Structure 1
Amino acid sequence: MLSYGSYIAGVEQPARQWVYTLRSSAMLRDFFGAVRLKRSLERGRIAPEEAGVEVVGRSAVADQEDMAVALRRAAAAVDEWAAVPAATRMRVVAEFHALVAEKHDALVELMIAEGHPRSLARWEAAGMLAATGPATRDFLSGQLEHRVRDGARELRVRRVADGVVCLNPPQNATVANALLGIWALAAGNALVVRAPRSAPLGVMYALRELVAPALERVGAPAAALSVLCCEAGATLRQWLASPLVDDIMYFGGSEQGIAFGAECVAAGKKPVLELAGNDVCVVWHDADLDLAAEALSEAFYGSGQICMVPNCAVVHPRVADELLAKLAARAAAIRPGPPEEPGALLSPVLRTDRFHEVLGQAEAAGAEIVCGGRRLDVDGRPDEVRGLFLEPTVIRVDGLKGARDLDAVRHETFFPLLPVVVPEEASDGELLAQVTDFVNSNEYGLRNSLWTGDEETAERFLSRLRNGGLVKVNDSHIGFLPVLPTHGGTGLTGGPGGEANYPLLRTSHLQGVSVARGVRPSEAVFGGPAAPGGPVEENEGVQV
């Protein structure tokens, strides 16, 4: 059984209270029995050695005083760590990447134990590797500093660490999002992570077994990293009130997240917001429909409870019927099951009442259910009373006008529910403009994608598209790629100032520097002689 105390500035603290993590499959088999076991362990009625194999591990529960110590130690570490050369700090990411590759299988198995279907856990691990690989590191290292020579001056534009960065991962993808903090560390910040009490073990493992050793390998100060399992509300209030905190990376729903971002600004903190997504995938008449249907079926990963899956499709009317038939066939093959099973893709859904409300509203407005719509048990059998899973559901919505009056189209639903909007017939030029305007008018803006066989159509779409932090053309909607960001977006996804999120850049700030020799201040004030031929680029980027 894994056991992690609070990790404060490189030291594991003794625990006064524990949160125990049971295998998700045990909860599916006997929910009430598993809850009784968990409570008995946490109340000390059963000794850990008597718990059995269904208990994966435990995490110490921290309090506000523990957090206060972590923040003080982090603030003391910033000056030392930020002064380390950028090339050395970037090596932390390379070491982390190597550790993820080395411990890939153990990491995947732990995420599965916490309830991630195997395919979903493997996808998340693939994202960690793609986002920290050599091509991405080389690209981002080039953003850290730029130098030019201008006569007697060396001019630099560089990125400087913000200071203490606090990270609050979401409950649905705790590990992958907590590990975005590796880039905040590479920027020269100290990092303090809250492991959610509902799912702390994966975060504790990832930070302790992947991030902490990477920092140690490059000689970083131990106080640059702390990770504590603690209650969300009190912790966020403590971060807002602390003068030691500079940035807060917050993951959650849009309504709460936008409000929290405003609180951050009022308290003098930089909010880095990762909120809801409501991604749109456009399928044009000349698309490869088999591949497009495969990409659209990614909407059902984790039962749609992932912000970056397709949430809405807009399909050219000439191919709508054919695509819907292909999509329905794919949806019918997606089944629930214990997360350990290789074919499992769906996760349990708690708010099934809300799912039926959204679906009923769409039907009342004229939408057609193409497939799905039922509750299922773990074996895939319909069970409208006790079913913990929802059948992958596709609905057809005719007409762009009025489509966003439906909650299924307008908002991220977090269900395995994909509305397919079929526009009215029009000329291709007019229709492409209407569809692009529809995508741009989306209140959210995480990812968008397009399927087309025509390069000109793709370029016209891209030239007009302003919404979103990432755009894919003829590609997996959720697949991770080197160099491109994994997170970030506009509107209700990233809040004011939202954009593609590279945490290395978002947790640092630009600073201009001039280093001169023999320059007379009076000449500089009134415009001294320029270097012959103007400024000359001296070097670009940081060699890693």
Structure 2
Amino acid sequence: MIVSSNPATGTELSRHTPQTPQEVDGILTAAASAQAAWRRRAITDRTPVLREMARVLREGKEKYAALITAEMGKPITEARAEIEKCAMTCEYYAEHAPAQLADRPVASDAAESAVVYDPLGVVLAVMPWNYPFWQFFRFAAPTLAAGNGALLKHANNVPQCALAVEEVVHKAGAPEDLCRTLLIEVDQVAGIIADPRVAAVTLTGSTEVGAIVASQAAAVLKKQVLELGGSDPFVVLADADVMAAAATAVKARYVNVGQSCVNAKRFIVEEAVADEFVAAFTAAAAALKVGDPTDPDTAIGPMARANLRDALHDQVRRTLDAGAVLTLGGEVPDGPGYYYPPTVLDHVRPGMAAFDEETFGPVAAITRAADVDEAIALANRTEYGLGAALWTSDLERARCLTRVLDAGAVFVNGMVASDPRLPFGGIKKSGYGRELGAEGIREFANTKTVWISPARTTA
């Protein structure tokens, strides 16, 4: 049984019987048929559906945002922003997809040559709970624009969100079976990946699950895009605007209650400004309002599940036992819901849990570096490589340092964030492939060479 619960109260919201193998087979057949027709439509006939998706999202913003808050605990203000970002991304690809997928002529003396981008087919999206609308639409907008179909296997704690995103696509006028939600158990995923009606798979989730899905897809030689875990460094050098860095760092760590692969997690600060940074960061984190996620003033709602909170608290205790210093939080509060307070750990070093492991919740780990060389070395001392932030007033030096930080994205004097105009993805155990930007729309396209020689006649 697939059960949805409210993490702020622990009360059950809904339950759903998983689809049977026969029902899944019917969905796969219908999706393949719908995609075969969809790909034959000109891209200029497909993109109006994306504009309509944006309209539907905005029209239903309050309903959809409330659903996000109820099922995974995101503060309502952030939930509304998530819906708006989905709409903006749909509009971006509605405008830019025709140019991004346009045929590219290649000069040739002997023939007419071009590179063209054809759709792959139906793509399975295995998605997490932390951004239940955004994770889907950042994949679906470019994928549908490119002529593919989409099947969504969402996290089983957000089934109502999963059904709602399917509703958005259908209300926008897409063919009925082009985008379908699969309400299934985890053990059914491997069979769907192997099914010949599925052309490729994308997954956003943990590194452990990514390795499983990658092996399943590789066994049947299917394209994958994997956006996995992260332990993003936020590097503050001695010449940075420390107060601005600290204010942005708090947002970068605690947005979405710290439950994002691209949250800043390890704050690496040059020793010369570390005390100032820690004081400012701790004060700003302490000012965040913890409470009811439906209150627009709340910054920290509950974590999504009790087991996630328990795992996070265990990381905090192990880090403190290893010698870190607690400057804020660090205790599980009494009362209902899966709340955990904003927590700050200072003097964290490699070998401690909060440095070596991904902390998926409202816990910040601050590490002090003797100089810039040690700061960069510490930033790269991780098995992950999703994003990185660098704070310095020396922009020429910053340009050089961005090239030696091991990450899929480096933001200077700002916080890492996804943007539909820019490719998003990681290296090392943060996965491979890219979403968003022109690179993202081409991930699920067949980059095809077409070579046409003039017709020849024989005398």
Q: TM-score, normalised by structure 1?
A: 0.76
Cross-structure match for 2:344:
394
Instruction: Tell me the distance in 2 between the aligned counterparts of 1:19 and 1:365.
Output: 39
Separation in structure 2 between the aligned mates of residue 445 and residue 83 of structure 1, nearest angstrom: 38
State how far apart, in whole Å, the 2-side matches of 1:357 and 1:483 are. 38
Among 194, 213, 217, the alignment partner of 1:264 is 217
Moved more, 408-417 or 319-328: 408-417
Unaligned runs of 5+ in 2: none
Out of 82-91 and 177-186, give the one that drifted further. 82-91
- 1:173 alignment counterpart: 131
Match of 2:409 in 1: 470
SS of the residue 1:444 aligns to: coil
1:295 Cα deviation after fit: 1.8
Conservation of the 8 A alpha-carbon contact between 1:377 and 1:388: no
Letter of the 1:457 counterpart: R
Within 2, Cα distance between the matches of 1:481 and 1:250? Answer: 18
Q: Could you tell me which runs of 5 or more consecutive residues in structure 1 were left unpaired when the two chains were aligned.
A: 1-17, 43-58, 379-385, 522-544
Distance 1:248 1:387, change over 3 A: closer
1:163 to 110, 114, 121: 121
Aligned to 1:293: 246
The match for 1:13 is none
Q: Give the superposition deviation at 1:71.
A: 0.9
1:75-97 CA-to-partner distances (Å, cap 9, x unmatched) read 22333222222333333333322
Code of the residue aligned with 2:249 in structure 1: it is L
- The 3 A distance-change label for structure 1 pair 394 and 19 is closer
In structure 2, distance between residues paired with 1:273 and 1:463: 23
Q: Match of 2:111, as an amino acid?
A: R
Q: CA deviation at 1:269?
A: 2.1
Q: What residue is the counterpart of 2:82 in the other structure?
A: 124
Superposed displacement of residue 519, structure 1 = 6.6
Equivalent in the alignment of 1:213 = 171
TM-score (norm 2): 0.89
AA matched with 2:401: F
Partner of 2:265: 311
Q: Please give the per-residue CA displacement for 1:312-343, whole angstroms capped at 9, x wherever unaligned.
A: 11112111111111100111012321211112
Q: Is contact 1:196–1:232 with CA below 8 Å preserved after alignment? A: no
> What are the superposed Cα offsets for residues 211-252 of structure 1, whole Å, 9 maximum, x if unpaired?
123343xxxx43322223222222x02213312211122232
**Aligned partners of 1:359, 1:90: CA distance in 2, in Å?**
47
Map Cα deviations across residues 158-178 of structure 1 (whole Å, 9 max, x no partner): 222111111121133322212
After superposition, residues 70-219 of structure 1 pair within 5 angstroms as 70-114=27-71, 115-134=73-92, 137-138=95-96, 141-151=99-109, 153-179=111-137, 180-208=139-167, 210-216=168-174
**Count of aligned pairs between the two proteins:** 450
Do the aligned partners of residues 171 and 387 (structure 1) sit closer, same or farther apart at CA in structure 2, a change above 3 Å counting?
closer
Question: How big is the shift at 1:199?
Answer: 1.5
SS in 1 for 2:230: coil
Give the counterpart letter for 1:106 in structure 2.
K
Matched, 1:442 2:386: no
Residue in structure 2 matched with residue 531 of structure 1 by the alignment: none
Residue deviations 1:182-225 (CA, integer Å, cap 9, x gap): 322111111112244422112211221x2123343xxxx43322
Give the distance between the partners of 1:64 and 1:435, measured in 2 at CA. 52
1:404 pairs with 2:350: yes
Contact kept? 2:27, 2:180, Cα under 8 Å: yes
User: What is aligned with 2:311?
Assistant: 354
SS at match of 1:300: helix
Counterpart pick for 2:278 among 309, 324, 330: 324
- CA deviation after TM superposition for structure 1 residue 61, in Å: 4.3
CA distance in 1, matches of 2:353, 2:60: 41
Q: Is the 8 A contact 1:250 1:274 kept in 2?
A: yes
Give SS of 1:418's match.
Answer: strand
Please tell me whether the aligned partners of residues 280 and 449 of structure 1 are also in contact (alpha carbons under 8 angstroms). Answer: yes
Which one has a bigger Cα radius of gyration? Answer: 1
Structure 1 position 421 matched with structure 2 position 367? yes
- Cα displacement string for residues 471-495 of structure 1 (whole angstroms, at most 9, x for unaligned residues): 21122334x434024x42111111x
For residues 268-311 of structure 1, give each alpha carbon's deviation from its aligned partner in whole angstroms, at most 9, with x where no partner exists. Answer: 22222222121111112222222211221121223322212111
1:388 partner letter = Y
Q: Are 1:226 and 2:180 matched, yes or no?
A: yes
> How far apart, in 1, do the equivalents of 2:173 and 2:227 lie?
25
Partner amino acid for 2:332?
Answer: R
258-267 or 86-95, larger mean C-alpha shift: 86-95
Relative distance call for 1:132 and 1:484 in structure 2 (3 A) is farther
Deviation at 1:98, TM superposition (A): 3.0
The change in CA–CA distance for 1:84 and 1:149 in structure 2 (over 3 A counts) is farther
Q: Percent identity?
A: 26
Query: CA separation of 1:132/1:292 partners in 2, compared to 1, >3 Å: closer, same or farther?
Result: farther
Name the Cα RMSD after superposition: 2.8
- Deviation of 1:387 after TM superposition, in Å, equals 7.1
CA-to-partner distance for each residue in 1:360-382, whole Å, 9 max, x for gaps?
Answer: 3322333211222122246xxxx
Structure 1 contact 258–492 (Cα < 8 Å) conserved: no
Q: 1:520 to 1:223 in 2, by over 3 A?
A: farther
1:247 equivalent in alignment to 2:192: no
- Pairwise CA distance, 1:507: 1.6
Is 2:459 the partner of 1:513? no
**CA pair 322-130 structure 1, distance change in 2 beyond 3 A:** farther
Deviation at 1:439, TM superposition (A): 2.9
